[in-house]
Amino acid sequence: MSMVKTIEVLFETLFSKPMTVKFPYEAIEIPEDYRGEHELDIDKCVSCGLCAEICPNRAVEMVELPEEYKEKYPKTYPRLDLRKCCFCGLCQDICPRKCLKLTKNVFLATPDPSAVIKNPMPKGPQ
């Protein structure tokens, strides 16, 4: 590469925008269909257990809810273990009622070991 070309590239680079963004002040937008943290709409769930059946890593387990919710939710519901999950989204695709969804939340790193187990819980104050 000639010297003229080098200087040309140098000036071009000086006045062009960087490829990166200043995270966390700026962030690249995450698409809607991203395979991030799971979200369960327990009111729609029919307890078919297909999500647990299709999961390649056995990260989904059908469990009963605590006693105080048993009257309204008497069946078994999916409990997710994010440590085992590979975020493939097969549980979302197979769900006949579309109640289990993968959201675009990617901030899943946590120092709290209990936070990686997502128990099925009704929405609202608990």
Partner 1 sequence: MTKQMNEKELITIEHIEQIIPGDTDYNFYFGPAHSGSGNFGVKLRIDGEKVTSARADPGYLHRGFEKLMEYRIPMQNAVLSDRVCVLEALNWNLVHAEAVDELTGVEIPQRARYIRVLMAEMSRLQSHLIWYGVMSLALGFDTGFKMAFGYRDYILDIFELITGGRVYPAGYICPGGVRRDLPDGSEDKIKRVLDQTEEMMQKMKDFDNIVFSRRTKGVGTLRTEDAIRLGATGPVLRACGVETDVRKDDPYEIYDELDFDIPVREEGDAYARCLIRGREMEESIKIIKQVLDRIPQGNIREPAKITPPSRVKIPEGEVYVRNELARGEGCAYMRSVGGGEPYRVKLRGPDFLHMIPVLEHLLKGSQIADIPAIYWSLNICPADMDR
Residues in contact with partner 1 by CB under 8 A are 1, 5, 9, 19-20, 28, 30-31, 33-35, 50, 53-54, 56, 86-90, 93-94, 102
Rounded distance between C-alpha atoms, residue 99 and residue 103, angstroms? 12
By residue count, the chain amounts to: 126
3-state class (DSSP) for residue 126:
coil
Nearer to partner 1 by Cβ, of 5 and 22: the residue is 5
The neighbouring-strand residues paired with 77 are 63
- What's the min distance (Å) between Cβ of 117 and partner 1? 22
Nearer to partner 1 by Cβ, of 76 and 121: the residue is 76
Nearer to partner 1 by Cβ, of 32 and 68: the residue is 32
3-state class (DSSP) for residue 25:
coil
Tokens of 24: 């966390």
Nearer to partner 1 by Cβ, of 90 and 121: the residue is 90
Q: Are 39 and 121 in contact (CB under 8 A)?
A: no
**Percent of the chain as helix, strand, coil, to the nearest 5:** 25, 15, 60
- What's the min distance (Å) between Cβ of 3 and partner 1? 12
- What's the min distance (Å) between Cβ of 98 and partner 1? 12
- What's the min distance (Å) between Cβ of 105 and partner 1? 13
